[in-house]
Chains A and B, each alone.
Chain A
Amino acid sequence: MDLQENSPEKQKIDNRNYKMIAENVSVYYGGVQTVKNITMKFKERSVTSLIGPSGCGKTTFLRCLNRMHDMTKNARVEGKILLDGEDLYSKDVDPIYHRRKVGMVFQKPNPFPTMSIYDNVSAGLRLNGVRDKKILDEIVEDSLRMAYLWDEVKSNLKKPAMELSGGQQQRVCIARALAIQPEVLLMDEPASALDPIATQKIEETILELAKEFTVIIVTHNMQQAVRVSDYTGFMYLGDLIEFNETKKIFTQPQNELTAKYVQGQFG
């Protein structure tokens, strides 16, 4: 990363350690390579956006970061994903412990269908062995507040999560991901099902979270990338075309494709 301005704010960002490092990551579906040899470094306490046209491999790459492809038949991942220096894909690493540090919010809201709001948010804790009701109550409230849902559901926590609106369901999912106290949060277009007000709230949450966590977010919304992220990566047809500070990507892109994309000429 070349620094031209030496503002104190930039210095501060630059001095952070790398929380997560993806080295030469490739993903193959069947025989087709959908993510091509991507290397990216994510700093702690930062927000990184992945942008690019549909089908460029953003989501596929994001899912590598907590081994979500383990479930997918025919998918093969090559390369290294280092979380605090430990390779997520090495044979002797149990993905469970990494996933507890890496929360994920999916593109479509997917609250557990038979559970109440409370049970959904506390699921990661309860099913991982937390029994203390007081602690659970505390974390549920805290997580729902962070996801900007608390005021809407506080009197009705026992209601089935499926009876909420789509946007509220997505915020339940965000609260559920936050409840396990992750160090890294992966978000796959978390706001695509939300109205502008909820979107704004979620963006505020993301900025709040970035004070403590590493957030990596896939988004189709370029304004959103500008608003929330410190760094932005532009992907196209499985390649990482350009990865830089968000401001640079949108004001002085180095690559012609990036320039065209951020100006809305294709995508």
Chain B
Amino acid sequence: MMSSSQKRAEYRSLFKQNVRGRLVVNKITMGIILSSVIVALVPLGSILIEVFKNGLGALSVQFLTQIPGAIGTGDGGIGPAIQGTVIIIGMASFMGIPIGVMSGVFMSEFGDNRFGRTVRFFNDVFMEFPSIVIGIFAFLTIVLLLGHFSLWAGAFALSLIMFPIVARTTEESLKLVPLTYREAGLALGLRQWVVTFRIVLSAAKNGMLTGILLAVGRISGETAPLIMTVLGSSQFFGGFDSPMDALPLRIWRLSLLPYDSAKMQGWGAAVVLIIIILSINIGIRYYFSTKNSSKSKFLYKIIGGRKL
């Protein structure tokens, strides 16, 4: 029988001896990772460059504030579409986010049973629904019920797209909060719902925010459900009960026209839409991060890093 030090020496000799080979493997792996990042960034970059190159020329105060002019003249602007997009995103968020957050809380905190698993399954299925189907659903319910196209119907359709995304990401972020914080809360004699809403939700804030922004980003660009619900319009806001324009709709319509001036306006509208989505992202992240860490820098805040 070998002595234990002999044994250990033998175990060590089993380790891979070829350190140089490992360095090579390390470099290759790094290379693959970096090139994957670049491959992923190329389409993003080229889309942004293309949109801004073609669209920046269309931007002007008149373009941003006026109603569309006569077709083919290149006159007028996309004022109603900007207004409509902001209003629809706002309405859909007001409907979709609370329901999504509540569903997420339910799935994470109380969903460890057959009913919870069923809800989770249907939530996942719902998340994958083609948006046109949701548009048709909103058309068959709200539009036919009211008898005409309206902002209500559009916001309803978009909130249906939003809430499964918000629910799932809320659930995932809540699950990352260690059990020990819940226990500490309960040990203080707090009710379960107080622990959930005042302690667990606040610990999961960053993850939930990412989910909400993802959902906002997703609905900002939806076109198909809007065709079936708000229809489009060339007038400014005329009540929640009437049709409305939105940027994706306007981009779609402009891109179908055979005139160069219309195409340019379409690119311009795309630039505006991208800027709106970016501003919502940066604004919300900045707002929520200022509340807790006053020291961190602006960029640090919007990237969303907050060390625990």
Interface residues of A (CB under 8 A from B): 66, 68, 70-71, 73, 96-104, 106, 108, 110, 112-115, 123-124, 127-128, 160, 162, 173, 176-177, 180
Contacts and interface: CB of A to CB of B under 8 A. Distances in A.
B187 A103 contact: yes
A66 B188 contact: no
Given A71-B179, A160-B292, A112 B189 contact: no
B203 A114 contact: yes
B180 A110 contact: yes
B308 A128 contact: no
B148 interface: no
A132 to B, nearest CB: 18
Contacts of A124: 188-190
A160 to B, nearest CB: 7
A207 to B, nearest CB: 22
Contact of A128 (B189, B203, B293): B189
Interface string B172-188: 00000011111111111
A36 to B, nearest CB: 24
Given A110-B181, A113-B181, A162-B308, A177 B292 contact: no
Contact of B203 (A73, A101, A104, A112): A112
Contacts of A99: 186-189
Contact of B188 (A73, A128, A160): A128
B199 interface: yes
Interface in B151-191: 178-191
A68 B187 contact: yes
Contact of A177 (B181, B182, B187, B308): B187
Given A73-B112, A114-B203, A108 B189 contact: no
A136 B190 CA distance: 17
Contacts of B181: 110, 112-113
A108 B186 contact: no
A110 B178 contact: yes
A211 B199 CA distance: 32
B182 A71 contact: yes
A97 B183 contact: no
A177 B184 CA distance: 9
Contacts of B290: none
Contacts, number: 77
Interface of B: 112, 178-191, 194, 198-199, 202-203, 205, 292-293, 308
Nearest to B187: A104
B117 to A, nearest CB: 14
B189 A96 contact: yes
Contacts of A177: 187-188
A124 B179 CA distance: 17
A68 B183 contact: yes
30 contacts: A66-B187, A68-B186, A71-B183, A71-B186, A73-B112, A96-B191, A97-B189, A98-B189, A99-B186, A101-B189, A103-B187, A103-B188, A104-B184, A104-B187, A106-B180, A106-B183, A108-B180, A112-B185, A112-B203, A113-B308, A114-B203, A123-B199, A124-B188, A127-B185, A127-B190, A127-B198, A128-B189, A176-B184, A180-B188, A180-B189
Given A106-B180, A176-B188, 6 more contacts: A96-B189, A115-B202, A127-B198, A160-B293, A177-B187, A180-B189
A128 B186 contact: no
A102 B112 CA distance: 28
A98 B202 CA distance: 26
Contacts of B112: 73
B189 A100 contact: yes
B182, B185, B205, most chain A CB atoms within 10 A: B185
A113 B203 contact: yes
Nearest to B197: A127
A86 to B, nearest CB: 15
A103 B189 CA distance: 8
Going nearest first, the 4 A-B pairs with the smallest beta carbon separation are A100-B189, A124-B188, A104-B187, A99-B189
Nearest to A120: B184
A5 B205 CA distance: 60
A98, A103, A115, A127, most chain B CB atoms within 10 A: A127
A71 B179 CA distance: 9
A156 to B, nearest CB: 13
Nearest to B205: A114
A115 to B, nearest CB: 8
B178, B187, B190, B194, most chain A CB atoms within 10 A: B187
Contacts of A128: 188-190
